[in-house]
Structure 1
Amino acid sequence: MNLAGIKKSEGVKVNASKSYFLGFGWNIKDALDIALEEAGPDYDMLIDGVVRYASYPFVLQIKVEGTAVNSQKMIAQMGQEGFNQWISGHQVTTADTVKLIKE
């Protein structure tokens, strides 16, 4: 799939998880940060991402998978206006719009 000049094959597939004792302090951002760190310092955006959570006795686990891409590379190829149009034309998840699926 080509995302207006960005090939998903140029991204890095990532899987990450974060566990929380009794679920205290859980948040999705920690798992997303781990996934992007796993991809490397040049990657700052996750596409085709899936966030799941699992609950075990005394532990809550957040799992993230997707393709990490470099948004600056996208902007360089598409221009800032093209990038903004691409963002507005896709389903972009923010902390306010996350929906969780329990495993």
Structure 2
Amino acid sequence: MKNLKLTIFAASLIFLVSSCTIRLVDFTTISTKNVNLGIDKSQGTRVEGKASYFLNIGFNLKDAIDDAMEQAGTGYDLLIDGVVSYQNLPFVTVVKVEGVAVNAAKMRLSMTEEEYNNWLSENKAIEVKEDKTK
């Protein structure tokens, strides 16, 4: 009986001090503030993506975001005005992502060079130039 209590105590202690770290999402740009990017949202498409996890195994936001981008179709690479929510059900967690998917390259091509430079400066955005020395 004493060994059983000791075993239960040791197992409980190991359970209490153990931890797990999960990577939730990789992102290029993210903000919780309302930011006006000057993007014509009518060029985008409203999307919703979901991901479900049994017992939270493999839980991450990336799967739901990727599903939303896949729902938009090829060529869409930017999700704006996004909302991420999750729902805990018995044994299952559901992550849901909603937003407007836009094609950043198409947005860039719809502007003249001067309009694009104005957009960059007005929105305090940066443009990454490719390194041509490689």
What TM-score, normalized by structure 2, do the two folds share?
Answer: 0.56
Runs of 4+ in structure 1 over 6 Å off: none
8 Å CA contact 1:36–1:44 kept in 2: the answer is yes
Kept in 2, the 8 Å contact 1:11–1:67? The answer is yes
Unaligned runs of 5+ in 1: 89-103
Match of 2:123 in 1: 86
Partner of 1:69: 102
| Aligned-pair CA distance for 1:82 | 4.0
Percent identity, aligned pairs only? 49
Q: Is the 8 A contact 1:12 1:39 kept in 2?
A: yes
8 Å CA contact retained: 1:74, 1:83: no
Higher relative strand content: 1
Partners in 1 of 2:72 and 2:86 — Cα distance? 21
Greater relative contact order structure (CA < 8 Å, 6+ sep): 1
Which is higher, the Rg of structure 1 or of structure 2? 2
C-alpha change, 1:52 and 1:41, in structure 2 (3 Å) is same
Q: CA RMSD, aligned part only? A: 2.6
Q: Which residue of 53, 76, 95 maps to 1:20?
A: 53
Match of 1:33 in 2: 66
